[in-house]
Amino acid sequence: MLVSLASLGLVGVGGCEQPGPSAQPTDPKPPDPKQASKATPLSILVLGGTGFLGPHFVDRALARGHSVTLFNRGKTNPHLYPELEQLRGDRREGDLSALEGRRFDAVIDTSGYLPAEVTATASLLASSGHYLFISSVSVYRDQHRANLAETDPLAPHPEPGNDKLPDFYGPLKALCEQAAEAAMPGKTTVIRPGLIVGPGDPTDRFTYWPVRLARGGEMIAPGDPDDPVQLIDARDLAAFMLACVERRLFNTYNAVGPAKRLSVQAMLSAGITALAATASLTWIPADFLATHEVRPWTDMPVWVPPTDPEFGGLGSVNGSAAVADGLSFRPLEQTMTDTLVYWNELPADRRAEPYAGLAAEREAEVLAAWHERLSG
């Protein structure tokens, strides 16, 4: 399952992903009291900035009066932000010349996956005031354990020097964290999100659920209704990232939500309510799904059985430190609704081939097999 989780991108950030700002509904979320006061204008460099999480951050930073510069290859959505300073280069190829001699109040790294590229970028920008690195909860060594906290051991790289992605996604992210701190000691913030969701998500991981609920009819609900799940709306993550920069919070945070425990049943019920969906849930145990080759996370997105010997803790990571420092969450119903709006505005050919979730024909087969077992 490791490659399956990583290949879908547990955090879902970076300049290589597809954005959706133009398809996003107006954000009605009220400002958090800890973030609402007028900000001192900052110069902010975003490494990436035109993929999924990046535009949410850029939009919020601009709305708060900050000056934003983007550094990327210019290949993903180059039409975005023509009014901003855009520096061109390719971190993976070592092309950082556009950053030479530059200093910013804050650097936002949403696109660092290899320690060498983080070292090079952070070292070149070491005179800057703050380096915020987006990591992942995949960095932890014991991902089968519930309640993983920021101080828990990180996964060692089993083959040092092997930078193959996505095979070593988690260990490489852990090394990237260390590289950022080594280059800018005392001036780094590390944020470890879980599953990032919402409008603009190009992976269809969470999106599968509002789309499937809206389609209606009998549908598979995976595992035990009480199994825990976690996710974070990209807009809430972006708001917390900016708050860390504005308040100069040089810490490490798990960015997972919501603030209180969320079960898979509660997640699906929130979608039924928000979308006025007529779908009926048929709960099928994890072992039966496994027998019929229905995979957690990929075929049944968001959900990983808590009994999974490798990844069972990824639905119950401890996010209390971030919440204590201001991370807040919009209602899940809003995320469900906005995600479906985003999906329905995508081109028809894109919607015809979703990247995650169970195809309708396969779902019908598994449901039929489950009913046959119950009747037998």
Strands (DSSP E) contained in 91-241 are 106-109, 131-134, 188-193, 196-197, 218-222, 228-229, 232-233
Q: Which one, of 297, 269, 293, 271, lies nearest residue 283 by Cα? A: 269
Dist. CA 132–CA 57, nearest whole Å: 12
Q: Which one, of 170, 176, 150, lies nearest residue 158 by Cα? A: 170
Query: pLDDT digit of tens for each residue in the chain (376 aa)?
Result: 333 344 333 433 333 333 333 333 334 444 454 445 677 999 999 999 999 999 999 999 999 999 999 999 998 889 999 999 999 999 999 999 999 999 999 999 999 999 999 999 999 999 999 999 999 999 999 999 999 999 999 999 999 999 999 999 999 999 999 999 999 999 999 999 999 999 999 999 999 999 999 999 999 999 999 999 999 999 999 999 999 999 999 999 999 999 999 999 999 999 999 999 999 999 999 999 999 999 999 999 999 999 999 999 999 999 999 999 999 999 999 999 999 999 999 999 999 999 999 999 999 999 999 999 999 7
pLDDT in the model for residue 372 = 96
pLDDT in the model for residue 39 = 79
pLDDT in the model for residue 1 = 34
- Show me where the domains of the chain are located: 2-375
Dist. CA 45–CA 108, nearest whole Å: 6
Please report which helix (H) or strand (E) contains residue 370, including its range: helix 360-375
Q: Is the peptide bond before 258 cis (omega within 30 degrees of 0)?
A: yes
Q: Which CATH architecture has domain 2-375?
A: 3-Layer(aba) Sandwich (3.40)
C-alpha distances (whole Å) from 129 to each of 90, 95, 108 are: 23, 22, 11
